[in-house]
């Protein structure tokens, strides 16, 4: 089953047959409720929550030390460190991760529907919005939400390029992959290797 799914994603574009819509009035109301809970969860109590000792504290302290010592940190840590040094407000230093998660959700819908269809992407976003890990990790000042946003947009732009081979999707792929490399080079290089292997195996032209 997984082999067939991968071959479907990486093969050249085919004619898409429209499916009956599931977007009833009740389902649209359900989506509004999901969006409301998502926004409340992402923005509520961010200034009052204690520092997440296992990751957020290390990120903040590491960013400060690297900035003061003159060593360039990764892009996310540098940005968070500057915000913390300037304002020392937990809500402000956590805000970029929240906004990037929302931007990635919008990007997943806008670009993902070009490949998988509108309703499939809406269902995907509902599942992501209900994730305890993803949504709550974005509420803390770590690079996880940054990495998720840049990597998922890079993958989507690559998949769209396979279906619509125009230069702009190559440019978007390079931009988002470059940003991901600035945030976390090791995991991003690993992602590049995995994508290269999948393209070599499943794409008809092996590229």
> In the predicted model, what is the mean pLDDT of residues 56-65?
63
> pLDDT for 1-52, tens place per residue?
445 545 555 554 444 445 555 677 888 888 899 899 988 888 887 777 776 6
Helix, strand or coil, per DSSP, at residue 71:
coil
Structure tokens at 32: 């509004």
**The pLDDT value given to residue 44:** 83
Q: Which of the given ranges, 38-42, 95-99, 153-157, has the highest pLDDT on average?
A: 153-157
> pLDDT for 168-194, tens place per residue?
999 999 999 999 988 888 889 999 998
CA 69, 70, 75, 80 dihedral sign is positive
pLDDT band at 105 (very low <50, low <70, confident <90, very high): very high
Closest CA relative to residue 108, chosen from 132, 133, 125: 125
Enumerate long-range contacts of 56-62, CB under 8 Å, 24 or more apart: 56/140, 56/141, 56/142, 59/141, 59/142, 59/143, 60/84, 60/93, 60/141
Side-chain half-sphere of 42: how many Cα atoms within 13 Å?
24
- The model carries a pTM of 0.76
Residue with tokens 């590229």: 207
What distance, in Å, lies between the first and last C-alpha atoms of the chain? Answer: 23
Q: Are 60 and 81 in contact (CB under 8 A)?
A: yes
Q: Distance between CA 17 and CA 8 in Å, rounded?
A: 14
Structure tokens at 191: 């992602």
pLDDT band at 131 (very low <50, low <70, confident <90, very high): confident
Q: Distance between CA 198 and CA 207 in Å, rounded?
A: 9
């Amino acid at each position: 089953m997984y082999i067939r799914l991968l071959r479907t994603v990486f093969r050249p574009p085919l004619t898409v047959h429209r499916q009956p819509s599931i977007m009833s009035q009740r389902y649209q109301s359900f989506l509004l409720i999901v969006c409301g809970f998502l926004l409340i969860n992402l923005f509520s109590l961010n200034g009052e929550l204690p520092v997440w000792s296992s990751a957020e504290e290390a990120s903040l302290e590491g960013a400060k030390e690297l900035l003061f010592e003159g060593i360039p940190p990764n892009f996310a840590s540098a940005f968070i460190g500057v915000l913390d040094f300037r304002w020392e407000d937990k809500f402000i230093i956590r805000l970029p991760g929240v906004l990037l998660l929302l931007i990635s959700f919008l990007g997943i819908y806008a670009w993902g529907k070009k490949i998988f269809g509108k309703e499939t992407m809406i269902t995907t976003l509902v599942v992501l919005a209900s994730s305890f890990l993803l949504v709550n990790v974005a509420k803390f000042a770590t690079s996880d939400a940054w990495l998720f946003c840049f990597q998922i947009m890079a993958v989507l732009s690559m998949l769209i390029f396979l279906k619509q081979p125009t230069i702009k999707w190559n440019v978007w792929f390079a931009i988002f992959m470059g940003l991901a490399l600035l945030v976390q080079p090791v995991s991003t290089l690993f992602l590049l290797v995995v994508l290269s292997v999948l393209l070599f195996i499943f794409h008809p032209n092996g590229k």
